[in-house]
Amino acid sequence: MQRLLAGIPADPKATPSAAQTPREIMGAIARDLIEDPMSRPDPDLLADLGTRDREWIELLARFLRELDPTDPETTARAARVLADRLDEQSALRIPTMVACGSVADFGRYEPLLPADPVHLYRPNPTFVLYAELDRFQYTQKENGYHYDFEARIEVFDAKGQLLHEEDWFTFDDTSRRPIRDFFVAVPCQLPADLKARELTMKLRLRQGGAEAQRVLPLRLTDDYDVISRPTELNVRTANVPS
């Protein structure tokens, strides 16, 4: 929506015909929709936009038509629908990836510190890779909502040479309600015979035709005293009785 509104002309008397770039056209259409949500965009203007931009205009129009300042619940529901639809058109991404000692749940993990890079003991370089996913999709089935992904881990040296890779593996999940907080926890054990000291681990995630990647800097050391160690989360969970 921010992208749509960014091009709204400051002059209220400006006409859509003056718009030339796709951004200006979208801004002009958005201005008209805000003034009259029940209006229909000019087909000639829509013809100058790409498929994705036309879909965004339609999403904005639906949101504005359902907007009701006197009914917060209806407005909130319309906003959630708009956000979900925009996410469907966005690319899969990995906003967070951390090397951990253990993982309990989404956002509840013990990160290895120091973390940039993560110092691993060369004779036994093991940890749990925690990654959060965003803008993922689901398939609605009779028993709920189904999520499936493919993942692959690759390890490179400082020069970008591939030293280690794992075959693509799959994981899936099913929920009764759409999930907004999705994470994966992958046990990792690097080969003990890696000669390089500075490494980069890459996690690749695929869903349908979309792929997301994120990297994690690692350092192998023979000094046990300097390795990264897990940091505990010493707080009580609010939704568990004490």
Structure tokens at 200: 């980069």
Cross-strand pairs, 130: 98, 185
Q: How confident is the model at residue 77 (pLDDT cuts 50, 70, 90)?
A: confident
Q: What is the pLDDT of residues 128-137, one digit of tens each?
A: 999 999 888 8
pLDDT computed for residue 20 by the predictor: 62
pTM of the model: 0.64
Q: How confident is the model at residue 86 (pLDDT cuts 50, 70, 90)?
A: low
pLDDT computed for residue 213 by the predictor: 93
Is the pLDDT score of 89 beyond 60?
no
Sketch the domain layout of the chain as residue ranges.
Answer: 2-88, 93-230
Residues ≥6 apart with Cβ < 8 Å to 228: 99, 112, 113, 114, 115, 118, 119, 120
Q: What is the pLDDT of residues 152-175, one digit of tens each?
A: 999 999 989 999 999 999 988 999
- The architecture CATH gives domain 93-230: Sandwich (2.60)
Q: What percent of the chain has pLDDT over 90?
A: 40
CB 21 within 8 A of CB 48: no
